[in-house]
């Protein structure tokens, strides 16, 4: 096959490309220039898609003996990921930019261009696996190493995208083995730190970054009963479940810490309360999509057993889910949790699993607290 290897400049993508070469594929490496500041340098494990990463990707391709190109997707990345991130926070939601990047850049824009150029598949260093079911249709499953599993951030992939996706690290038992393999192959990225946090906020100061891009104004911090107990410098910079940075002058009656329960951008208010009020037992999701072909219950509207996960490395929770029609006719995903989940925020992504298989995903629109049922309005 003719394979386009997405080279991030990290050890995972380098080893994935090497394995694709070993498998006999015709491999071409490409690095996506996503930063609008190409001179940006990496700082330890913070940031990615920098000029240093581009150089590391080039050196890996040189070592593997494959062609190397840089494709400028910075404008698309700004519009589809960065601007979306800002808009979501401005609306009081907590987005996952990695989901948007995989959905709109790596497995939409990149794959679309790759197929137009005659490639058969896109290869990445994600820890996840694509398996064929009895009907020959692709399914996305968790990787062998659950600690490194990245199937959650790939839950946005469609059936057609899965058909052209290749994840050579799927069966690798640990990241240590990937680094050891890179060392044996003489790849200079063998000991390079993993990137983490949001790639376009390399210093990790999300609040400071947002304050430069969203108009912030002071407002009230209120408790669950609506009583004002403090002031904030901008509601949009907070997220549900947050504990630090509240700067409340008056302690809670029980002396226990308080957490952000809700953000009300129209009122410019932040609602706080005890940790127990973060527990939710029902979620409603919009922008529903199915990873591979949907299971039969989706079309019939029948409730089905599954596991729900709302963070990349969060623990999945047993659940029952169903698809209903929204007021505008678009599908809504309703997920009832068999045990409460803590700190669920609108804007997060819920990914559904059956066993190791990824069923699909939705963007959370609302969640019902076990102690504050008035927070949610779920049809059906």
- Nearest CA-CA partner of 167 in 234, 203, 122: 122
Give the pairing of strands 219-222 and 269-273.
Answer: parallel
Cα–Cα dist 88/346, whole Å: 9
Characterize 161-182 residue by residue with b for buried, 16 or more Cβ atoms within 10 angstroms of its Cβ, and e for exposed.
bbebbbbbbbebeebeebbebb
Q: Catalytic: which of 49, 98, 101, 306?
A: 101
Q: Are 351 and 312 in contact (CB under 8 A)?
A: no
Any idea how long the chain is? Answer: 380
101 included as an active-site residue = yes
Q: Catalytic: which of 48, 98, 199, 291?
A: 199
- Nearest CA-CA partner of 163 in 205, 204, 115: 115
Helices 11-22, 175-185: inter-axial angle, 10-degree rounding: 70
Q: Are 250 and 351 in contact (CB under 8 A)?
A: no
Phi-psi label, residue 81: left if phi above 0, alpha if psi -120 to 50, beta otherwise: alpha
Residue whose structure tokens are 């698309």: 76
98 included as an active-site residue = no
Q: Any residues with CB less than 8 A from the CB of 285 and at least 6 apart, and which?
A: 332, 333, 334, 335, 350, 361, 362, 363, 364, 365
How many Cα atoms are found within 13 Å in the side-chain-facing hemisphere of 208? 6
Cα–Cα dist 288/138, whole Å: 19
Task: Just list the catalytic residues.
Answer: 101, 199
């Amino acid at each position: 096959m003719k394979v386009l290897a997405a080279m991030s400049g990290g050890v995972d993508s380098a080893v994935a490309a090497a394995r694709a070469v070993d498998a006999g594929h015709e491999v071409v490496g490409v690095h996506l220039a996503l930063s609008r500041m190409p001179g940006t340098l990496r700082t330890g494990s913070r940031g990615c898609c920098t000029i240093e990463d581009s150089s590391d990707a080039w050196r890996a391709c040189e070592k593997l003996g494959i062609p190397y190109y840089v494709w400028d997707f910075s404008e698309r990345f700004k519009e589809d990921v960065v601007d979306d991130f800002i808009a979501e926070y401005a609306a009081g939601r907590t987005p996952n930019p990695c989901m948007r990047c995989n959905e709109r850049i790596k497995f939409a824009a990149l794959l679309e261009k790759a197929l137009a150029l005659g490639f058969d598949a896109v290869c990445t260093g994600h820890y996840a696996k694509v398996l064929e079911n009895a009907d020959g249709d692709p399914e996305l499953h968790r990787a062998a190493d659950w600690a490194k599993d990245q199937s959650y951030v790939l839950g946005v992939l469609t059936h057609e995208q899965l058909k052209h996706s290749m994840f050579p690290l799927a069966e690798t038992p640990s990241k240590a083995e990937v680094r050891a393999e890179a060392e044996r192959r003489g790849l200079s990225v063998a000991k390079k730190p993993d990137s983490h946090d949001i790639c376009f906020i390399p210093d990790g100061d999300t609040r400071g970054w947002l304050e430069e891009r969203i108009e912030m104004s002071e407002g009230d911090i209120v408790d669950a009963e609506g009583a004002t107990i403090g002031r904030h410098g901008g509601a949009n910079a907070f997220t549900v479940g947050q504990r630090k940075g509240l700067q409340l002058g008056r302690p809670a009656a029980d002396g226990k810490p308080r957490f952000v329960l809700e953000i009300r951008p129209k009122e410019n208010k932040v609602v706080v309360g005890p940790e127990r009020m973060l527990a939710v037992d029902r979620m409603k999701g919009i922008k529903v999509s199915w990873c591979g072909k949907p299971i039969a219950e989706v079309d019939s509207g029948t409730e089905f057993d599954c596991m729900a996960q709302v963070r990349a490395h969060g623990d999945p929770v047993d659940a029952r889910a169903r698809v209903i029609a929204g007021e505008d006719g678009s599908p809504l995903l309703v997920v009832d949790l068999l045990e409460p989940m803590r700190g669920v925020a609108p804007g997060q992504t819920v990914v559904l699993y059956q066993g190791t298989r990824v069923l699909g995903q939705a963007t959370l629109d609302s969640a019902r607290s076990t102690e504050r049922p008035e927070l949610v309005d779920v049809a059906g």
